[in-house]
Amino acid sequence: MKFLAKIASDLNKPNGITHISKDKMDNFIADLPIARVPGVGKQAAKQMELLQIRTLGDVRKFDTSLLNRKFGKMGARLYQLAYGIDETCVETEHIRKSISSETTLSEDISDADAAGKILLAHAQRVGRDLRKKQMKCCNVSIKIKFSDFTQITRSKRTDTWICSSTAIFNAAISLYRQVELKKKIRLLGVGVSHFQDMDTPVQMELLSLTGERTKKQWESVDRAVDSIQEKFGSDMVKKASLNIQEKKNMSETIGIKVNISGRVQGVFFRAQTQTAARQLTLSGYVKNLSNGSVEAVFQGDKQAVSQMVEWCRKGPPGARVDRVLTESVPPMPDCDSFEIRY
């Protein structure tokens, strides 16, 4: 099954191999933390916690009508995965057909300006990835998931081949403004597709020379920014509107680094730490250190971070925590999820 293959490939990185035999598959699924299932984000995990769905096996306690009502299409898929049903194929060779970036928001939003800033940030990332691969695209799409877990996608074909972040954003914001919003937004994303190599010659329309000149100027600006960010880091140059929003968000966020000693290294400990952090809608990471301890960084609301530190002092069932050291650290602007690092 593809979803188990994906999860198994993430365990015991970089050199380990995880083998899930057929006779152990049911127990593995039953004990799998729900936050590790692909597609389950922070907000979905919080809703599932209210229903006491903590593992994929817990999904079996509910019928599909309730799951569909609460989680939309994802509810039906979770029900199938809980019983080991996954008809998607594992592809051994993959040709990338699209590039996308999306964020599950810590709070549902309805403000158009806030949505625009999020779309701009995603357009920046997608454009940078596109240019890094020396590609151009002629199709831009947006993805919106609402507070009730229903989602829509919208796409448009661009008039010319593009690779600048500005052109991608202009197409994305145009699509967004055409959507009639009646519910708050939980997730926003931007994607591009229909690629061709950047060096492929393109016939220009005689009447679009001015637009073509403007497009090339923005592409030159983006390449210069890419070069600076590659050399000095992604925080060195940003759109002014993103800086303003980021400063506002960072002022409401704290960061704490913890070092945990004891019987704490292992896949289960890190997975449980990730699950607990996501339930508190924290971002950051957890990883093993070579000295036998575990390091984690938690960032988010002050009260939630304090709760997570207390959780670390106790640890999950089966762990033995001997010591927890903490220190304040600056929040990481580019970190918007909680991940397991290797």
CATH of the domain at 301: 3.30.70.100
- Reported as a single tens digit per residue, the pLDDT across 31-57 is 888 888 887 877 788 889 888 999 999
Domain-embedded: residue 140: yes
**Cβ atoms 308, 75 nearer than 8 A:** no
CA distance 269 to 285: 13
pLDDT at 188 over 90: yes
CA-nearest of 269, 132, 119 to 189 is 119
CATH of the domain at 35: 1.10.150.20
Of 204, 226, 247, the position where a domain reaches its end is 247
Give yes or no: residues 129 and 68 share one domain: no
Of 82, 115, 142, the position where a domain reaches its end is 82
Give yes or no: residues 272 and 336 share one domain: yes
CA distance 298 to 305: 6
267: Cβ contacts below 8 Å, ≥ 6 apart: 11, 12
Higher local confidence (pLDDT), 245 or 197: 197
Domain-embedded: residue 331: yes
Strand-strand pairing, 338-340 and 283-288: parallel
CA distance 59 to 82: 6
Higher local confidence (pLDDT), 30 or 210: 30
Report the domain count for the chain: 3
Domain-embedded: residue 87: no
Q: Please report, to the nearest 10 degrees, the dihedral formed by the alpha carbons of residues 228, 229, 230, 233 taken in order.
A: 130
pLDDT at 229 over 80: no
Given pLDDT bands bounded at 50, 70 and 90, which one contains residue 250? Answer: very low
Give yes or no: residues 143 and 201 share one domain: yes
Domain-embedded: residue 193: yes
Residue with tokens 């569909």: 68
Peptide bond before 14: cis, by omega within 30 degrees of 0?
yes
Transcribe 43-97 into DSSP letters: HHHHHHHHTT--BGGGGGGS-HHHHHHHHTHHHHHHHHHHTT---PPPPSS----
- Reported as a single tens digit per residue, the pLDDT across 110-148 is 888 889 989 998 998 898 888 888 889 999 999 999 988
- Mean pLDDT is lowest, of 170-179, 246-255, 271-280, for 246-255
Section 244-259 average pLDDT: 65
CA distance 321 to 313: 6
Give yes or no: residues 77 and 133 share one domain: no
Given pLDDT bands bounded at 50, 70 and 90, which one contains residue 233? Answer: low
- Mean pLDDT is lowest, of 49-53, 157-161, 185-189, 224-228, for 224-228
Section 212-232 average pLDDT: 58
Per mean pLDDT, which of 66-80, 85-99, 173-187 is the most reliable? 173-187
Please state, rounded to an integer, the average pLDDT across all residues of the chain.
80
Domain-embedded: residue 89: no
Give yes or no: residues 165 and 212 share one domain: yes
Domain-embedded: residue 90: no
Domain-embedded: residue 88: no
Give yes or no: residues 127 and 175 share one domain: yes
Q: What was the pLDDT predicted at 71?
A: 86
Give yes or no: residues 49 and 158 share one domain: no
Of 247, 280, 308, the position where a domain reaches its end is 247
**Cβ atoms 148, 186 nearer than 8 A:** no
- Give the number of residues written for the chain: 342
Max CA separation in the chain (angstroms): 73
- Reported as a single tens digit per residue, the pLDDT across 278-314 is 888 888 999 999 888 999 999 988 888 988 999 999 8
Give yes or no: residues 235 and 105 share one domain: yes
**Residue 221 backbone zone (phi > 0: left; psi -120 to 50: alpha; other: beta):** alpha
Domain-embedded: residue 139: yes
Q: Please report, to the nearest 10 degrees, the dihedral formed by the alpha carbons of residues 233, 239, 241, 243 taken in order.
A: 20
pLDDT at 155 over 90: yes
Higher local confidence (pLDDT), 333 or 236: 333
Give yes or no: residues 211 and 125 share one domain: yes
Check the CA dihedral 185-188-194-199 and report its sign: positive
pLDDT at 246 over 70: no
pLDDT at 154 over 90: yes
Q: What was the pLDDT predicted at 225?
A: 60
Section 9-33 average pLDDT: 74
CA distance 249 to 253: 7
- For residue 140, give its domain range: 98-247
Give yes or no: residues 210 and 233 share one domain: yes
Give yes or no: residues 215 and 103 share one domain: yes
CA-nearest of 151, 55, 161 to 102 is 151
Give yes or no: residues 264 and 321 share one domain: yes
